[in-house]
Structure 1
Amino acid sequence: MAKCIRCGRSAGFFSKYCDECIDKMQEEKRNSELREGIANKRKKSDYHFVDTRKEYNEKISEIKKRIVNDIYEKIDKNGNVIFYKNYFVNIDFSIEEVCTGEKFDCNFLVNMGLDGWEISATFPKTKGYVFKNKSFGSTVGETWGAGLGGIVEGMYVVLKKNIKSRSEIDDNFLEKYVDDNLDTLTSSEEKIELQRLWSFNSNKYAE
């Protein structure tokens, strides 16, 4: 009887392999096909991931251009558009003649004013302290004793800038303004589309 060319044991009639080697070879073939299928699927998924990430970035650029064009159109149509931005300003304060907080500094307003920005509104940031009474003996615990509040430790400053014509601004100004306020200026439909693309990318990273 012929010998199996793989293991050297007796082979079946009209066969180069024994039954055990034939079973092993069939299993190896199935595993190989399975690995190849997984690799191809992952490869296609990677291509889709790259395409989707590229589509996400392109969508962001598209939204920014749309917003910039909309602002220009509003300037042309209304002849007066107001831009806003906000800053936080530290304020030093005293408690029992002890000065605390950071030193007041609003030097940034000098350059902002020269660029046409003016103060539109201010909102104080306040801080409070709670004093508790501790009890020992027949009753143990803490009770609220008193409070010290209304200490202004800073100020939110809202600035505005009136623009009446295109000649007063340029693309760099608008692009920076749109970047700083992209979430606010993006429409609901655009947010949904961005969320869809971002969700795919997040799921891919999680794999």
Structure 2
Amino acid sequence: MQRIIHIDMDAFFAAVEQRDNPALRGKPVIVGGDPRYRGVVSTCSYEARKYGVRSAMPLRQAKELCPNGIFVNGHMRKYEESSGRIMEILRDYTPLVEQVSIDEAFLDVTQCQTLFGTAEKIAREIVDRIEMEERLTASVGVAPNKFLAKLASDLRKPKGFVVVNPEDVNDLMKDLPVKRIWGVGPKTEQALLNLGIPTIGILREVPLELLIGNFGKESA
């Protein structure tokens, strides 16, 4: 059976800033620049998310929601260097690493389990190494395919660890909102809600013809 691991760093840019500056730890950190000027939030710490701050939000709106937030400029070179070291950790276990962004990647460990142990064991070892070597945390999904692994890694952030076996799929997905699907943005979510499709479980029962008629063949 195929075993895919999805590694997703927790609030990566903000976590790097907190790691490198002890004064920021435990504080609502918002990466994006000065809120007096136009710009958007690159990411923010979980302390800031409690106030409703989100990525891509205008900085001024973030300031209104979180007046005590600490706004910092991004340091892309630092993030890229840390990301590079993390990807090297992943490649210690398999050459089949698909980096999809600066802070997340898929690993196919199907053929590596005889050497390193089960997919779950490999994933545990990876997150332990990331925390020890980079002093950062990650959330993980382990599943039979990329779609489910990505879905799983997002369920219990931060520091989430979710394993999905084939027999668990129906129970896992039936009540999850459609916005959890990778690639479903606000417009698509609203369109699905308008069709009376609020959950992934209901979506799986919808005739393909209906989806093609509303979203086109490629999207459906």
Normalised to the residue count of structure 1, the TM-score between the two structures is 0.21
Q: Which has the larger radius of gyration?
A: 1
Structure with more contact order per residue of length (Cα contacts < 8 Å, sep ≥ 6): 1
Q: More strand by proportion, 1 or 2?
A: 1
Normalised to the residue count of structure 2, the TM-score between the two structures is 0.20
